[in-house]
A and B are shown apart, each in its own frame.
Chain A
């Protein structure tokens, strides 16, 4: 059987956007360099809470908090207020690096533990 014989149903009712799709993931709302609200599309507590956590642990960050304004919207807001010498964007990038470092170490340790 070939796929050409497949009935032509191309419409999809699914809302998930595959990662390969190029969408504007983050929007920045800010009028000062040291504080900003980042509006994430299609992210939830998974990244929100993890980012909030690593940002709070960063000594250059004064405040971070996240919220999901409405459960039916696929948006997540992250608010950052930094101390001096660093912009909110830089602190967010640092936070992402921290999460990646933690994750890589967890993966390495897990693989070692399996052997």
Chain B
């Protein structure tokens, strides 16, 4: 039973504004926290409880831009706890492969073994982590949970030209060593495990210095160590809404345009000021610093309109990271559900 008023929101405009928007003032942020209690608006005839059909009706996703490594999209009609859970999962619970154990056979460079091992761990490895299992503690390595890379670099001075060869050990010197039938796991050349970028400097070498290292990659999650995080960053911000009162005209309008460092405002032909590029607003509040303008310019953000930006390190595409995050979220719920059912029965 969906009350007609529920789709339109609360009839009192002040209360409705409080419910749906976060307001910025000179003194700080107002109504930052949403009200989620199901009976919070019962007295004004609004049903604040969760209803799947109503959620489906209001929920929207629009892709704003997609490049190989970055995805920007807007998600409308979902509340912060769910959006934040997905953001947190993308950062710390979507697994990838990263170098975890490093066996140093020879290292005559000036970089200490432990510093070198740490640097190697940070190199993003381009391989689909979904093809691998988590390595269980106190178990031997298997082909299903471990990838081996070899790093063998010798710096020399060319006898004839005098040029120094291999002055910098780069990530491209990391060579994948397939074990058992691992080659069959990657039939396509481009799927083969390799460092994401070829030109990440690992260390500088001088003639005569040698490194000979074996690296073991394991699958794990970003909560354990950030090197396993699939994203450079995954973040969201709320959609800004800026409204300017029509009393701002003429010189005042030009003054307001000058105030904004991000050039958010435009003057329409009618002389009214409009926020033409609200997405550029950084919420610096420069436009409302003058008390005279604070009364006439309103800066707000829509509480359930999220602009997600997911920047991938390369192992998974940004879109795959988001898809995986949702699947992991569902799986988390399944595990808890199973556990409760086991306890009750």
* Contact B323–A53 (Cβ < 8 Å): no
**By DSSP majority rule, is chain B's interface helix, strand, loop, or mixed?**
mixed
| Cβ A18 vs Cβ B134 within 8 A | yes
Q: Let me know if B49 and A57 touch, CB within 8 A.
A: yes
Inter-chain contact A26/B49, CB cutoff 8 Å: no
Contact across chains for A109 and B60 when beta carbons are under 8 A apart: yes
Task: Decide if A102 touches B82 in the complex (CB within 8 Å).
Answer: yes
Q: How far is the CA of A92 from the CA of B340 in the complex (A)?
A: 9
- Counting contact residues on chain A (CB < 8 A from B), the size range is 35 or more
Q: Give the docked Cα–Cα distance between A107 and B321 (Å).
A: 12
Do residues B85 and A105 form an inter-chain contact, with CB atoms below 8 A? no
Looking at the assembled complex, report how far the CB atom of A57 sits from the nearest CB atom of chain B, in whole angstroms.
Answer: 4
Say yes or no: A10 contacts B138, CB within 8 Å. Answer: yes
Residues of B within 8 A of A53 (CB): 36, 79, 81-82
A69-98 to B contact mask, C-beta < 8 Å, 1/0: 000000000000000000001001100101
Confirm or deny: B6 has a beta carbon within 8 angstroms of a beta carbon on chain A.
no
Which residues in window 1-30 of A have CB below 8 A to B? 1-3, 6-12, 14-16, 18-21, 24-28
CB distance from A102 to the nearest CB of B (A): 6
Q: In the bound complex, how far is the Cα of B86 from the Cα of A101, in angstroms?
A: 14
CA distance A3 to B327 in the complex (A): 32
Total contacts A-B at CB 8 Å: 163
Write the nearest CB–CB distance from B57 to chain A, whole angstroms.
11
| Given A14-B137, A53-B36, A93-B340 contact (CB < 8 Å) | yes
Residue of A26, A45, A106 most packed against chain B (CB within 10 A):
A106
Chain B residues within an 8 Å CB radius of A111: 323
Tell me whether B85 and A54 are in contact (CB under 8 A): no
In whole angstroms, how far apart are the Cα atoms of A2 and B139 in the complex? Answer: 16
The answer, yes or no, to whether A99 is at the interface (CB within 8 Å) is yes
Judge whether B319 is part of the interface by a CB distance below 8 angstroms.
yes
Cβ A89 vs Cβ B73 within 8 A: no
Contacts of A61 in B (CB 8 A): 38
The digit string for B193-206, where 1 denotes a CB below 8 A from any CB of A, is 00000000000000
Contact A46 B89 (CB under 8 A): yes
Are B331 and A56 within 8 A (Cβ)?
Answer: no
Among B215-223, B235-243, B257-265, the stretch that binds chain A is: B215-223
Segment at the A interface, from B9-17, B141-149, B247-255, B287-295 = B141-149
Do residues B61 and A26 form an inter-chain contact, with CB atoms below 8 A?
A: no
Whole-angstrom distance between the Cβ of B72 and the nearest chain A Cβ:
12
Residues of B within 8 A of A27 (CB): 343
Q: List 13 A-B contacts (CB under 8 A).
A: A3-B143, A19-B134, A27-B343, A46-B84, A46-B85, A47-B332, A47-B333, A59-B49, A99-B330, A103-B329, A103-B330, A104-B326, A106-B78
The 7 residue pairs across chains A and B that have the minimum distance between CB atoms: A18-B134, A57-B50, A53-B81, A25-B339, A12-B137, A96-B333, A113-B61
